[in-house]
Amino acid sequence: MTDYRAMFDLTGRTALVLGAASGIGGASAEALGALGATVICADRDEPGAAATAARIGNGARATRCDAASATDIEALADFIGDARLDIAVTTPGLNIRKQILDYTEEDFARVVDLNLKGTFLFFRAFGRRMVAQGGGSIIACSSIRATTIEPGLGVYGMTKAGISTLVKGFASEVGHANVRVNAIAPSVIETALTAPIKERREIYDKYAAHTVLNRWGASSEVASAVAFLASDAASYISGTTLLIDGGWTAIDGPPTGLTQTRPN
């Protein structure tokens, strides 16, 4: 009989989380640590990454890394050293909410450099290591905005769609080495970055109503999906983007809450 509990156990594995200082990245680092992994917490906010590592304990370490910097990504690889790396998660992202006609080239470059180029740099650096060692799980962060858009999110959505496509391409290239590559695609998640929206109750409630559950998600609900994709429970999953959206993309507009009755 298959030991299904053991399939989720990450004891003895090493995980890297870039973006671990807060939000989805911080929660993902904590989830991986809770399931037994030794976690390396990286972020441009090094004190925040160190605080996450302290909460995790169990040998967790922290270091600084700017996800948009090729130099920093290579330095992060050097920080890990020659040890085996079983799990690599990258979550940083940037949205400059402007309509395309108002975007500057600088705005465009900033969003593309962090979201899309940063993911490419991460894949290249840690994919090489995992191919050489003969296995591993890489997880990136896409978004429902890869498929559903509203005004002002076109450039951001483009990068997130690009991440989902990059995941497919990379998965096709490294699967021969037993390296799995996937992405998560959250919808509205309560984090420190989205906290200001909560103060604007009308907007907060409007977004909640786009989900079939009529609520925002918690970072822990995304982190649990990251942990699943990192584990042997997802050993036959690669090249996919997992929606964690409360049903946002399942419906065309907010649910009405109306019910239909059949005539007798």
SS3 per-residue string spanning the chain: CCCHHHHCCCCCCEEEEECCCCHHHHHHHHHHHHCCCEEEEEECCHHHHHHHHHHHCCCCEEEECCCCCHHHHHHHHHHHCCCCCCEEEECCCCCCCCCHHHCCHHHHHHHHHHHHHHHHHHHHHHHHHHHHHCCEEEEEECCHHHCCCCCCCHHHHHHHHHHHHHHHHHHHHHHHHCEEEEEEEECCEECCCCHHHHCCHHHHHHHHCCCCCCCCEEHHHHHHHHHHHHCHHHCCCCCCEEEECCCHHHCCCCCCCCCCCCCC
Give the C-alpha separation, 14 to 143, whole Å: 26
pLDDT of amino acid 137: 98
pLDDT of amino acid 257: 55
pLDDT of amino acid 196: 82
Q: Which residue has the tokens 């330095």?
A: 75
Nearest to 43 by CA among 76, 77, 71, 88: 76
Give the C-alpha separation, 77 to 70, whole Å: 11
Architecture of domain 9-190+218-245: 3-Layer(aba) Sandwich (3.40)
Give the C-alpha separation, 188 to 78, whole Å: 35
pLDDT tens digit at each of 264 positions of the chain: 999 999 999 999 999 999 999 999 999 999 999 999 999 999 999 999 999 999 999 999 999 999 999 999 999 999 998 889 999 999 999 999 999 999 999 999 999 999 999 999 999 999 999 999 999 999 999 999 999 999 999 999 999 999 999 999 999 999 999 999 999 999 999 987 787 888 899 999 999 999 999 999 999 999 999 999 999 999 999 999 999 999 999 998 777 654 444 444
pLDDT of amino acid 128: 96
What is the longest distance spanned by two Cα atoms in the chain?
72
pLDDT of amino acid 191: 86
Q: Is residue 156 annotated as a catalytic residue, yes or no?
A: yes
Give the C-alpha separation, 102 to 114, whole Å: 20
Give the C-alpha separation, 25 to 40, whole Å: 12
Give me the residue spans of the domains in the chain.
9-190+218-245
Residue 151 tokens, joined: 């005004």
pLDDT of amino acid 264: 45
CA–chain centroid gap for 219, Å, is 10
pLDDT of amino acid 261: 46
User: Which residue in 4, 103, 156, 207 is the catalytic one?
Assistant: 156
